[in-house]
Structure formats: structure tokens, C-alpha cells
Chain A
Amino acid sequence: MSTSDHDHDRERDSEATFGDYGGQYVPEALMPALQELEDAYERYVLNNEDGFMDEFRERMRDFGGRPTPLQRADRLSERYDRDIYLKREDLVHGGAHKLNNALGQVLLAKYMGKERIIAETGAGQHGTATAMAAAHLDMPCEIYMGRTDVNRQRPNVYRMRMNGAEVNPVEAGSGTLKEAINETLRDWATTVENTHYVIGSVVGPHPFPKLVRDFQSVIGREAREQVQEKAGRLPDSVVACAGGGSNTMGTFHEFVPDEDVDLYAVEAGGSSLEIDAESGVAPNSATLSTGTDGVLHGAMTRLLQSEEGQIMESHSVSAGLDYAGVGPELSHLVDIGRVTPVSVDDEAALNGFHRLSRLEGIIPALESSHALGYLERAAGTAADTSSGRSPRDEESSEELGDLVVVNVSGRGDKDLETVLEETEKRDLEAAPEVEVFDG
């Protein structure tokens, strides 16, 4: 990188916004903490003060298991008649990319002299990663999790508690990620003087979207090097699922300057992209595809909201994508045409889950299954195109190109109960006979 490029990056990093998005929309009590965090981000993350980044990378290697492989998926490649590479973030310690950010932030909190860690979690992967990082670095930790998510992600609740974290179920609203974030912000507003809030995605007030992106950008940095090593060139496209957008931004960030590489953010289409205005419920979490601009949880971004500004309850079969907001940088990248938002519904995601499990021996998280569902829809063979294909899909198939990297953001052990239950309700072409599991 040339000096001028570097200067440009530094200037950009000191800004609180991405185009029209981002900012700091939080109660006044939290503002000094955000300033303190901005200062710590600049010193430790950007300037490696006290060897922070060296320690972070070493811990990610020895405790976290990095680098993760970029694996050529032979049977998927055969099926789609092109080269499909999987970035195996499911192999990070804890089973998801979430540890990259959680370990980074808990370590940063330690460097900042904070004494307590709080976090929110949807699917439980971020909560689990934070609990692991806190145990690893000997910090007390409390996790807020919506009641609905506690019920549908029990294995992760157990894991958090095994690692010594306290799990606080949140009863409000639909009991998902949005409510958990509200409650964590309230805790933080009370305890801000000694507590760091480990935000789990590229959302929230500045500098969180940049901080989380930087900790996660190791995914794309590795993938970019690995694909050149293995295939001898950059991919034609990169595909990642998008809820809040942490694995998405982590995977895309290093590819953003490579304008020949198409970036696809796959959102949760839930049961429908239509919004039920009467009940104020969006039966999807496809914020980039269908949302409008507004302010939620500290940032201006794309949201699922009513015309009057009330935030909608979202839906996805995947708890980790079930969120009415999305990272401000992703909203910006979509606006300027660098990232293409697409979506697949719950059923396509479930099929994606079963397909990867059967064909490649990898059980993916339901979040990642959306990326795999999109791959099938965009690159699928003619025989599998009977339903749900819009005219645009043909175009997407060409645009995906001959060399595709798909981020497998996490492993699906946590989702087995949900998958069995949801599969039984449907007649899924890719699914095994789930009834046989009863005996």
C-alpha cells in the first residue's frame, strides 16, 4: 500500500460515517465511553500500541485456531459446473467467525482497563464467543439473550454458562436480538464507567462498525491470499450471508477495492418479502433488500420500520439473522452499488443446510445456509429451477462467474433442533428422512 493510500485510509477511519450512514445516536451517558473507545481503537487497533495487534493475532492463532482453510468444495463445484471454494469459519474455535471480534474486543477492554464485559446475542454464537474470550482472558461476563432465542438455541446457552458467563433472558417484544440489544444498552448506560459492551456485529454507534469490521476482516484477508494461492487468481464473486453483517463485512472488506470481484450479501427472506403493515411484522430480515433509512441502536442505517418510524419485528428461521437493522457500512456499499443484496427464504436456507451436509460433510449454521441457498438459486442446474426463480437469477448465474468463494460463517450444531423441527413441517427436496431419527 502506498503512503497516500495509507493516509487516505487513516482519514477515512477517523470519520464516524459511511456516506449518509453511521454516526453516534446514543444517550449522552454513553458518549464519553464511545470517545474512550475511539481513542483505544486508534491507539491499539490502528497503531498497534503496546503490541496489541500482535497479541491479538497470536491469541487468534493459538486459542482461536486461525488461519482457517479455504477449501475447494468438489461436489458443489461439480454440481454447479464452476469452482466453489468455502471459507471455513466454522472451524474457528467455538464454531463461528464470532470469536474474531469477541476476542479482539475483550482483549481491547482489558487494555483499556475495563473490569466487566457485557454482550447481547441472537443465535448465541456471539454470546458463546464472548463467554469463551472472557474466560480465556479472565474477565467477568454477562450475556443478554431474547427469550425466544434462549428457547431455540439451548446448546449455546449451556456453552455460555459452562464458560462462566451469566445469561440474562430478555422477555420484551418478540424476545430476539433487537430486544437483547436494547437491554444491553440499558445495562451499559448504568455501568459504563467500568464495563465494556462487546457489540456482536458491524452495527451500533461509531466506532463499533469499524472496530468489528477490522477484527473480522481477517476472513477476507486470508481468503484473498488463499484463493490466489489455490486458483491463481481472484474470484469472480464472493458470497456471504447478512444479518447485522459482521461475517459479510469481514469477508468483503479486503475485496472492496477489487472492483472485478462481485460481492453478494445474502439476507434472510423468511417466509415472505412482503410486510404485514397491520401487525407491524416483517416476515423476513431482508433489511438491505427491503428496508428504509432510519436510526436504530446508535446508527443511521437501513431498517425494517413502519412509515411512522416504529421498528418492526423481523423473522428468520435463523436466529442469527433475525434483526431489523444492518451495519451502516453495508448500507453504504449497497447504495454505491459495490455490494449486491439478495435474499433467499427459510426453505431455500434449509435446503442449503441439508445440501452442504450431504454433499460435503459440513453441517453449516443456518445463517451460512442462506449463502448456500443463494448459491443453489443463482448457480443451480436447470433441473432444480422449477420454483422461486425470478428472471434475475439467470443473470446472477452468469454474474457469479467461474470462481466463487462462499463464506461458511459457522457450524450448525447449535441449529439441529430447529432444522429437524422446520424440516418436518416441509417437503424438502434436499432433506433426509427426518422421522427416522425418532427411534
Chain B
Amino acid sequence: MTADSTGTEYDSDVEAAIREKHPALITYLTAGDPSLEDTKAYVEALDRGGSDLIELGLPFSEPIAEGPTIQAAINRALEAGTTPEGFFELVDDLETEAPLLVMTYYNMILQYGDEPDVRPFVERAAEAGLAGIIVPDLPAEEADPLREACDDHGLDLVFIVAPTTEGERLETIMSQVSGFTYVQARLGTTGARADVSTATHESLERLSAFDVPKAVGFGVSEGDHAAEIVEAGADGVIVGSALVDIVASSDEPAVDLEAKARELKRGARRGADSITVDPEDTPEPEQP
């Protein structure tokens, strides 16, 4: 349990970061793009810019949930020779205010260590100080071994809820999620988009009965998107491809990443401010 300044206790550092810093900004970069040294500087810039949680991608050669932007970043990271051990050493070195999460594919977790097994990866992740794990190709049905290992080491296992997730499956996932729920804003793969999908509003509506922090990702790239998403009821926004674009194209990525994080965080706050709260009207959160 983690206590915040008001004495409220949360189940984990990840949940605390989102609840306390509400509305939260969650940022993503691919580790090793274009080098692990650069990633360290960029993560620190995102931390200064107001990120409340930072996702670091451990590159896998077959990233089936990613769009072209992050796929290209993963290719650059692999070409630069990024390994799991290099990744963990980077995390060992990082000192950020924001808790760090690792985002990677299941095979990378399974292959760390001598035999296919999830435990060595989770142990090393805990030792490096990571707060949680996100695995885009691991649905709740296959997650028991990883969840048990994460529970044993105090790591959150974040699940993704898609626009197609409904009914019984939604309840199963929501009963297993820890830290926060990653709400996939639209069908398809990651990638910056010009607008906020209507699927976002529908997903948040479906999830409103569950008292777990909800953060929306897939297609979020601007402060205005962040405002709209928070206004629609999200506890946080997740931004990846728009930041990876900066890494790929900016002359001064660290400067621009910090500025972008500030813009996104301001947008999220604007969204929160525009929700007029009348305590009389606020319903008690329903328990699923």
C-alpha cells in the first residue's frame, strides 16, 4: 500500500501516481531509439515536462500491435543493438519522479533467463525498480503465470481494454487489472491521429462502473486531445507515437519532448477544469 499526502492509501505506486496527479500524463518511448544513452536523456526530459508515469518499450522484432511510427522506432532500437540486459541497465540508471513501466511483447518476457519462464524477467524488472508491466499480446486468458509473478514482486500488470471488449470479458479483465486500465481509444494499431475517436467516449462510458483508474491511449497526440479525453471521464492520457515522432525528427529532441509533455499535461488539466463538479450531483462509484 502506498499513502499519499492526504493519507489515502492506494494499492500501488502506479495507482497512486495516477490518482494523486489526476489527470495523469503517461508518456511512452522505445528504449534504445536511437541509443540507450539518448533514451536516458529523453526520459528525463519527459519527467521534467510533467509525465506522471513513463512507459519504456523493450523492443521486440514482431510488434503486431504497433503502427508504423513505433514499429520504425523498434527497428532503430534493434539495429542499435538494444538487448533486454541493456534495457534493464538503463532502468537501473534512471532516477525519475515518475514511476516507470515496461511495455513489451510476451516472447521477450518468456525468453529472459535460461528456460522459457516469466519469473526471471519479473525478478529483474523489480530489481531495476520498474513499477509495472504492459504486454499488448497477452490477453487476460493467458496472463495467470505473469500475474502471479508480478503479484509476488509487487509489480502492476496493466491490461488493455479495447473498443471490442464488452460484457463478461470486460468484467473478467477489470477484476484482474492492477495500477490502471489502458483504454484503447480505437481499433487498430498505435499511431498519432488528428482527432479523438468516438469509441473513446463509448469505452469510458462502459467502464464508468469500475473503480479502477482509466487512461486512454492510441492516437493521442495533442493537448486538445488530452483535454477532450479527460473531459470524457478518463483519469489519464497515454501518448506514444507523437513523442517517438519527435525523437525521430527533431534537432533537439530533449527540449521538444519536455515542451510536448508540458503541452499535453496542460491540455489534460484544462479537460479536468472544464468538468464542473457539484458534490450534490456526484454519484458514488458503483462496485462491479
Taking Cβ atoms with an 8 Å cutoff, the residues of A that contact B are: 16, 23-33, 35, 172-173, 178, 182, 185-186, 189-193, 292-298, 303, 305, 307-311
Contacts and interface: CB of A to CB of B under 8 A. Distances in A.
12 contacts: A24-B139, A27-B139, A28-B162, A28-B184, A31-B162, A186-B64, A189-B188, A190-B187, A190-B188, A192-B187, A294-B116, A308-B83
A186 B67 CA distance: 8
B78 to A, nearest CB: 7
Interface of B: 60-65, 67, 71, 78, 83-84, 105-108, 110-112, 116, 136-139, 141-142, 159-166, 169, 173, 184, 187-189
A27 B162 contact: yes
A120 B163 CA distance: 25
B142 to A, nearest CB: 6
A308 B84 contact: yes
B137 A310 contact: no
Nearest to B104: A309
Given A182-B64, A189-B188, A190-B187, A309 B111 contact: yes
A30 B163 CA distance: 10
A64 to B, nearest CB: 32
B187 A185 contact: no
B33 to A, nearest CB: 15
B164 A294 contact: no
A308 B111 contact: yes
Contact of A25 (B61, B83, B138, B169): B138
Q: Say what secondary structure dominates the interface of chain B.
A: loop
Contacts of A172: 71
Given A293-B116, A308-B108, A311-B61, A31 B169 contact: yes
Contacts of B137: 25-27, 295, 298
Contacts of B164: 28-33, 192-193
Contacts of B138: 25
A309 B188 contact: no
A327 B253 CA distance: 44
Nearest to A26: B137
Nearest to B161: A28
A341 to B, nearest CB: 19
A192 B165 CA distance: 12
Contacts of A35: 169
Contacts of B106: 25, 295
B135 to A, nearest CB: 9
A31 B139 contact: yes
B159 A28 contact: yes
A27 B116 contact: no
B28 to A, nearest CB: 16
A186 B187 CA distance: 10
Contact of B60 (A30, A31, A307, A309): A309
A295 B136 contact: no
Given A32-B166, A185-B64, A296 B188 contact: no
A309 B169 contact: no
Contact of A28 (B71, B105, B110, B165): B165
B114 to A, nearest CB: 9
B62 A191 contact: no
B165 A178 contact: no
A35 to B, nearest CB: 8
A272 B238 CA distance: 46
A384 B38 CA distance: 59
Nearest to A190: B188
Nearest to B115: A293
A23 B71 contact: no
B163 to A, nearest CB: 7
Contacts of A25: 106, 137-139, 142
A307 B113 CA distance: 9
Given A28-B162, A28-B164, 10 more contacts: A25-B142, A27-B65, A32-B164, A178-B62, A182-B62, A186-B64, A189-B64, A292-B116, A294-B107, A311-B61
A139 B51 CA distance: 47
- A-B pairs with lowest CB-CB distance, top 3: A309-B111, A190-B188, A29-B162
Nearest to B83: A308
A27 B136 contact: yes
B187 A189 contact: yes
Contacts of A292: 116
